[in-house]
Structure 1
Amino acid sequence: MAAISMFPLQAHSSIELPSLLPTPPMGFNNWSRFMCDLNETLFTETADAMVSNGLLSAGYNRINIDDCWMAYSRSPDGSLQWNTTKFPHGIPWLAEYVKTRGFHLGIYEDSGNMTCGGYPGSYEHEETDAQTFASWGIDYLKLDGCNVYATDDRTLEEEYKHRYGHWHSILANMTHPLIFSESAPAYFAGTPNNTNWYTVMDWVPIYGELARHSTDILVYSGAGSAWDSIMVNYNYNTLLARYQQPGYFNDPDFLIPDHPGLTGDEKRSHFALWASFSAPLIISAYIPALSTEEIVYLSNRALIAVDQDALAQQATLASRDETLDVLTRSLANGDRLLTVLNRGNTSVKAEIPVSWLGLGIDENTDGCVYSAQDLWDGSFREISGRVEVELDTHATAVFRISLPEGCRTVVPTGIVFNTASGNCLTAGENSTVAFETCQGQGSQIWQVEASGTISPLSRAGMCLTAGGESVSLQGCASGSKDQGWTYAVSGNLKNEATGGCLTEGVLQMKTCLDERNEQVFGLPSGVDVS
């Protein structure tokens, strides 16, 4: 699968010019914890606390203001005004206050004519608002998507693309472009047909540096399970790894470390999973009151190093069953990350249900001895074969596996799953293949070679093969086009011989359509995307 750029070069295209945001942002946002209950003091106290408790030195250097900071009307010249009761010294004063303490200030607006909270939106004021924010010392914009509607000329998806594209053009012409956080995909998530959601996801990496792709994480005062909310956004993020590259990051929303509905293990899992994804680490909590234990895990430098790794690869599923998710990815220095989540409601003590080969590591290289660092306690151990884990309910283990020089052969390996149904591609008896419930077995773990072949671990020497409309396992033949597959940013697996796309259902090849549910797949990290 030869590497091909996902998108054409753009002046502000973050994946083509990733220097604006080469690693995911870290910092604070008020929304999940305080919503519209915000004021100047909240942000000054937060900045001071982040200096004193070590969060700033750990890398959390952004203070972002969310909705409800504005006056209800614009000034006579059309520019935005801050609420002078909430911000008596003004936003420029606050920007300077946090800057002198080592932070950057970010702000919120909406692409509609009103924000979600009913304040003035940016629609038809985009140039003025961009200039205003820059003049105030702002360098980060979260642009929401409330109050956007289809028009006679454009569908709803096209209207979002038009408005966010317009903002992209404005930012591209600024001397110092603002970091652009897009919320457009969130307004298309959760529907029975994912086509429009993926269509929006296709263009957001062109226009900005990160995109909030799904539902809001549960707010502090909200009803329901905070852990369930985290798992919803976690699962959304597992569907989108193909979009992430240095300069653009999938955003599964805020960290909520002081939410009263979370156990200690759930809080640590939330942080570890987001770090494994190289996701933005934006805390929404009352920072001055965070416990020592919460500060310790949020400041875990080994996990932050994973999150901020220059390769920016998102961890993907190496294996999944009814209880355990096993995720892997490569790191810039050649190490391999292994993350294991216990989704179940009871403790587990087990060997990880995949071998070295299942983690993408060549286990047959003579003389190779691998060591793994537990990123929670920093301990090292030499390991061979399978890794043992003991996890309480909703706990997560994270290991950084060091691959010695000469032992760094890594092949993208993991499950191939349909992102709508969640079913895993499964090698059956004889030459059969099918999509079945993911059960963490070897017949559902696949290696994707650079040549474009896809092979199950359970059937050495066999390759996924297209023949007309049928799909089967056949003996691997070098250069065989019917065994050559390309993986598109659309999530399609296209066969070189037939030109058709793998389709779930009665597993077969069909004409490639516009990101229909049956044709969008998640593949292991490290697979080239065309």
Structure 2
Amino acid sequence: MKTFYSLLTILFLSSISYAQKFENLALTPPMGWNSWNRFECEGVNETVIKEMADAMVSKGLKDAGYEYIVIDDCWQIGRDKNGYIIIDKEKFPSGIKALADYIHSKGLKFGIYSDAGTKTCAGRPGSKDFETQDAETYAKWDVDYLKYDWCFTEGQDAKQSYRTMRDALYKAGKPIVFSMCEWGTNKPWEWAQDVAHLYRTTLDIDMKGRFDGDIWGNQLGWTTILDKQVGLEKYAGPGHWNDPDMLAVGNNHMTTNEARAHFSMWCMLAAPLMAGNDLRSMTVNDQDILTNKALIAVNQDALGKQGFKIEDFGHFEIWQKPLSNGDIALCFFNRDTNNKKYKIDWEKIRIKDFSGEYTVQNLWNHKTIGTTETTYLIDVPARDVVVYRLTQNK
């Protein structure tokens, strides 16, 4: 009988040993590029992915901290008799492992996509009931990152579905960043910290103005998504990030001002920075925005604090992000279509944990303007930001 109970104990411990995610991954928000927003299903293929990896290196994104190249939907076409996924060989004739090897040869990391349901959002085979086979396959291919969607999941429990894939990934043994794309429907920020390394908080960002031609403030525009992040800051930190979806910089009709504001706010949110534009042909302005190392340093700060709103004057807001060593990032965000003048009186702004004197650096023009002992009159352009880093004078 003692042997029997010992065996039960071993089986129980074995069963729970896989009930965890890989630790010490995504200790800062992941940075990279994803194929969907620019290429969707029709335009994605092996050549495009290789050229994006090349451009990430040649255009300075790798040096700025971007590292993941993620194929989204439409790389898979079926399953074999044992349930293992079949690659779309028309799109990826060399196979996924060879593509992963190419991306790794560039000093980058490789990501792939699947879905918790029976089918992906584009109608390709999903991972439901095939989690073990898919996790084994990703490990064999040397995958570094998995985006896991939530289409065709009728009747499924989100917590159980995502935990099932988490456990399968862990059992397969290859450390993989797990990106939950559950759209925030089941409030994943409340329960997914031990399931995934990042979890979507909203539906997909509108990249093309599908609703009213404007990606600024429509029902799925980035400012609308920004508003939904208010109050979620307590749920984010190293290894578990709120994900307001990919960056819209470089896509469609976003002006330079708007793109700068969007990128700045995602940096303030400690959001994953996943570009979605065509890196090969992006403008110099978009390249400069995506590679602003001062803003990226705010996003990637090791303290891992998500920014939060401290002042709201309607169309004008002030956001704060605590940084390491007592530094503070402040973003003055003008939503209006007119320029906004604002007098900065540091003692009157409700900055948290603000004490003593700080040196003030503008993170877009890279100029030090003085210290917090002085008031300043600033001009924030329409639909734009001014972002300062406050460094405490010891």
TM-score (norm 2): 0.90
**2:102 aligned residue (84, 94, 97):** 97
Would you say the 8 A contact 2:18–2:167 is kept in 1? no
Q: CA deviation at 1:91?
A: 0.7
CA distance in 2, matches of 1:221, 1:360: 36
Match of 1:238 in 2: 230
Match of 2:198 in 1: 210
What residue ranges of structure 1 are gaps of 5+ in the alignment? 1-8, 151-155, 189-196, 406-530
CA distance in 1, matches of 2:232, 2:76: 34
Question: Is 1:404 aligned to residue 393 of structure 2?
Answer: yes
Q: Which moved more, 1:320-329 or 1:111-120?
A: 320-329
Would you say the 8 A contact 2:142–2:174 is kept in 1? no
**2:322 aligned residue (313, 324, 330):** 330
Q: Which has the larger radius of gyration?
A: 1
Q: How does 1:31-430 map to 2 (within 5 A)?
A: 31-36=36-41, 37-71=43-77, 73-150=78-155, 159-184=157-182, 186=183, 188=185, 197-198=186-187, 200-220=188-208, 222-223=210-211, 224-228=213-217, 229-352=221-344, 355=347, 358-363=350-355, 368-380=356-368, 381-384=370-373, 386-405=375-394
AA matched with 1:250: N
Q: Secondary structure at the match of 1:123?
A: coil
Match of 2:5 in 1: none
AA matched with 1:61: E
Q: Secondary structure at the match of 2:81?
A: coil
CA distance in 2, matches of 1:116, 1:382: 51
Q: CA deviation at 1:187?
A: 5.6
Partner deviation per Cα, 1:474-526 (whole Å, 9 max, x = no partner): xxxxxxxxxxxxxxxxxxxxxxxxxxxxxxxxxxxxxxxxxxxxxxxxxxxxx
AA matched with 1:55: L
Q: Which moved more, 1:396-405 or 1:376-385?
A: 376-385
Q: Secondary structure at the match of 1:333?
A: helix
Runs of 4+ in 1 over 6 A off after TM superposition: none
CA distance in 1, matches of 2:184, 2:297: 32
Aligned length: 372
**What's the RMSD between the two structures over aligned residues?**
1.9
Would you say the 8 A contact 2:21–2:167 is kept in 1? no
Q: Which moved more, 1:200-209 or 1:217-226?
A: 217-226
CA distance in 1, matches of 2:161, 2:358: 50
- 1:353–1:321 distance in 2 versus 1, CA, 3 Å: farther
Match of 1:30 in 2: 35
Q: Secondary structure at the match of 1:163?
A: helix
Q: CA deviation at 1:373?
A: 0.6
CA distance in 2, matches of 1:329, 1:99: 33
What residue ranges of structure 2 are gaps of 5+ in the alignment? 1-16
AA matched with 1:391: V
Q: CA deviation at 1:249?
A: 0.8
Query: Identity rate of aligned residues, in percent?
Result: 34
Match of 2:7 in 1: none
CA distance in 2, matches of 1:248, 1:321: 31
Q: Secondary structure at the match of 1:161?
A: helix
Q: Secondary structure at the match of 2:104?
A: helix
Would you say the 8 A contact 2:258–2:383 is kept in 1? yes
CA distance in 2, matches of 1:144, 1:301: 30
AA matched with 2:279: I
Q: CA deviation at 1:219?
A: 3.0
Q: CA deviation at 1:11?
A: 6.1
Q: CA deviation at 1:387?
A: 4.5
CA distance in 2, matches of 1:118, 1:112: 10
Q: CA deviation at 1:172?
A: 3.0
